[in-house]
A and B are shown apart, each in its own frame.
Chain A
């Protein structure tokens, strides 16, 4: 099956390693990913910061960049949620664009959801066993209702143990992480305490943004625990986002 990879601005610019691992996972699962070269950013940072007009422009740009009518796979719950729920809202006033946004939303999938629900593949023959803590990211869990899919993928790794963290926000939240840093820090501390209590070596998640916040915090705290994107764990990468 041919699919288009929507790498997200964050993975493209900061974590190309996650993008590479995602391509590898998709290939292992039998999908043939391509990288539409015009993609940039889905517009979520702008919508979240209070600029819907700018977000709309980037949403249009994204739909344009992914105009081929084949599935779009996104290694991020947050960006998938933006496309699935907020794109139709952004174009609510324009029936033609609204139809287009809905159709685009319908063929856009978060990575774990695509593997489990669309390809129906759980065992990707991941090579290494680890003690894992799975971080259920907010937009992934609450916005998309994705919970069992990543867990099923992780549980297939022979010899590894997976503990699901309590669904608590890590404190990232885009602009919030900087302009409300004070609160973001307290939320991050709470998340790190929770992670340390599990005894896990690696925190696995489906959102590079949350994982960047968490690994940034772990590193600053001098912890040896590292974060990995789901795709990195499934392809046997060393713990750590980069």
Chain B
């Protein structure tokens, strides 16, 4: 019996273009991940911590879910529980109907793929538009994503250009920047007009009822900030107890997924829009989807719920590298998919996937939360061995033989005799019979020894005089400890942001206004989207900007109407904001909607100019959380961590910047 995976793999292997794309993905992603972890001083400890966090969270899932749901409710977010995909679909349709919505703007979410949400919506006459570049393209092509992180992994830029040409009715060149530009402009309409934004959730923070959503392109920010209604769909296992554990996960997830120190945009959403917020969804819903997860708790496959969907095991897997994502026939492919798919969707249909592994363990090595994937593949195999009758009989006979040394010796002799008569080439067998014929289809076989080792014992010197061992301690090859961050926060912030493609201008407060004005002249443009007077430093600059430029202070109408206002904001060439804090180790700035500070200047224009005070630069996220950041997140409706320009590598692994968010980030650091 040939498994569906093998049939599809045959096609994948015969497609040199796909093989090339898969190789590129494997090589590039592995290299990026390894270098990201190499730079992390305590990677092994962090991984152990992350594993312990996931184990604890999943083991006490009911309690954490309870806390999370009550915090969400207290924060004013509607909580729904869905036992399966159908129920989740019904809830989304209901919410959409309450708002007469016919269009939903979606950011990438695997759980919605899992439950076929787009199909449920389509059946109710509601169009869901995917806004992640890769996902947008596969949606246009009517294909499922080929990778949980890089949906269009299987497509060349030529194929993407063809798809867009067909969709838009005008020729699109097979150039990644051009594709990017076109996606940016055509999806703007969707962001600005959709009454509902729909996202997944990377982590739900139980203690504060916070939704953490990470995107590189900025589409996650668009769909949670611009439409008046936000629906977040998440698997019940995607929780962390508090912000401290979230910080650990945020160190590991981006490094594992894309080799980034931090994802470009980390949204931390704790409430719907408040009176003092200039934007943000007025109504937020969270749908907690079980869909088979609860039933896994306490079973041998419960560890699969530890997965944080980083995709690292797919990129490390030699089988995925040959087969590609589609061959698995499940939304979850690769090593973890071969466990999750049978665990969630049924052994009968997906149990065979667990056999498609050499158990090489590259997946465990890559897994940021240390899931024993080979161990779980073995558990799936033992539940659903799905071997052919002849293989099954053969293995059981072998087990019977090996339980007795007498039978074993006899079998060895018989095998030795039998293989003597098979065709050989330089003493190795070139053709084996029966189920072993597959071996010799591309490899020679050594054949059984006519005299096995146990028959040669008499000739072996099994007792000899001890030699005097030279006692010499083995050479230890330990990595050098990483440098200390403390006294060079501004330098580090500058280095990191520049590495991400951002620019850094360092100046004294007295020069700040001149430097910012100078920068604005250089950037050109005539319209500036900004916060206005809420920051003392901005206040000084503000008056001068107002004299020279058209200044827009964004505030979305509270009644949910958007009209043309967003398109108007979108005309601004530059956005200027301050920042609440910054992280030296990742070149990150922290912004929030609190106190009428709009996030739109950091999202809509092509250039984001951000003012950072040197004293607000913390060594890292943990230091900020400790110094009150956790409290701040819990009490704000929307906090965003921004690390460099918006970017994507969705097409042929080519990094392009400025997808949905700004393509240029300039930090003015005031020392």
Give the B-binding residues of A (Cβ under 8 A). 1, 7, 9, 11-16, 19-20, 23-24, 27-35, 37-41, 43, 45-52, 54-55, 57-58, 61, 65, 86, 89, 116-117, 119-123, 138-139, 142-143, 148-149, 152, 167-169, 171-188, 190, 212-213, 215-217, 219-220, 241-242
Contacts and interface: CB of A to CB of B under 8 A. Distances in A.
Given A175-B395, A212-B446, A220-B443, 20 more contacts: A16-B455, A32-B464, A37-B405, A41-B398, A46-B395, A50-B378, A58-B403, A61-B402, A65-B405, A117-B474, A120-B473, A178-B435, A178-B439, A183-B6, A184-B358, A185-B441, A188-B442, A215-B444, A216-B444, A220-B444
A51 B395 contact: yes
B395 A183 contact: no
A179 B396 contact: no
Which of the listed residues B384, B443, B449, B469 has the most CB atoms from chain A within 10 Å of its own CB? B443
B126 interface: no
Contacts of A177: 358, 439
A171 B470 CA distance: 38
Given A19-B453, A120-B474, A171 B358 contact: yes
Interface in B390-428: 391, 395-396, 398-399, 401-405, 408, 412, 415-416, 425-428
B501 interface: no
Given A32-B463, A169-B360, A52 B402 contact: no
A139 B361 contact: yes
B377 to A, nearest CB: 9
B483 interface: no
Which of the listed residues B10, B13, B318 has the most CB atoms from chain A within 10 Å of its own CB? B318
Nearest to B435: A178
Nearest to B411: A13
Contacts of B378: 47-48, 50, 52, 86
23 contacts: A14-B449, A20-B453, A23-B461, A24-B461, A30-B468, A32-B462, A35-B462, A47-B378, A49-B395, A57-B403, A58-B399, A86-B378, A120-B470, A148-B475, A152-B474, A176-B358, A176-B359, A179-B388, A179-B438, A216-B445, A219-B425, A220-B443, A242-B427
Contact of A217 (B382, B386, B443, B467): B443
A38 B454 CA distance: 10
A216 B444 CA distance: 4
Contacts of A38: 405
B171 interface: no
A214 to B, nearest CB: 9
A34 B358 contact: no
A171 B427 CA distance: 23
Contacts of B455: 16
Interface in B213-258: none
A135 B396 CA distance: 32
Which of the listed residues B13, B402, B448 has the most CB atoms from chain A within 10 Å of its own CB? B402
A28 B469 CA distance: 10
B438 A29 contact: no
Interface in B145-166: none
Given A16-B449, A172-B358, A180 B6 contact: yes
A187 B382 contact: no
A78 B271 CA distance: 52
A34 B474 contact: no
Contacts of A175: 355, 387, 391, 395
Which of the listed residues B430, B451, B457 has the most CB atoms from chain A within 10 Å of its own CB? B457
Contact of B453 (A7, A43, A169): A7
Contacts of B319: 180, 183, 187
B467 A28 contact: yes
B451 A16 contact: yes
B133 interface: no
B290 interface: no
Contacts of B468: 30
Contact of A27 (B428, B448, B461): B461
B610 interface: no
B399 A46 contact: yes
Contact of B356 (A180, A185, A186): A180
B119 interface: no
B470 A121 contact: yes
Nearest to B407: A40
B477 interface: yes
Contact of A30 (B403, B460, B466): B466
B369 interface: no
Nearest to A186: B322
B322 A187 contact: yes
B498 interface: no
A169 B452 contact: no
A20 B399 contact: no
Contacts of A123: 470
A12 to B, nearest CB: 4
Nearest to A190: B318
B365 interface: yes
Given A54-B395, A121-B470, A142 B362 contact: yes
B462 A33 contact: yes
Contacts of A185: 441-442
Contact of B318 (A29, A40, A168): A168
Contacts of B318: 168-169, 171, 187, 190
A107 B559 CA distance: 72
A142 B364 contact: yes
Interface string B561-601: 00000000000000000000000000000000000000000
Which of the listed residues A1, A50, A217 has the most CB atoms from chain B within 10 Å of its own CB? A50
A121 to B, nearest CB: 5
A16 B413 CA distance: 13
Contacts of B436: 178
A169 B443 contact: no
A142 B477 CA distance: 17
B322 A181 contact: no
Nearest to A38: B405
Interface string B305-325: 000000000000011001100
B263 interface: no
A51 B412 contact: no
B381 interface: yes
Contacts of B444: 215-216, 219-220
Contacts of A48: 359, 378, 381
Contacts of A86: 375, 378
B472 interface: yes
Nearest to A49: B395
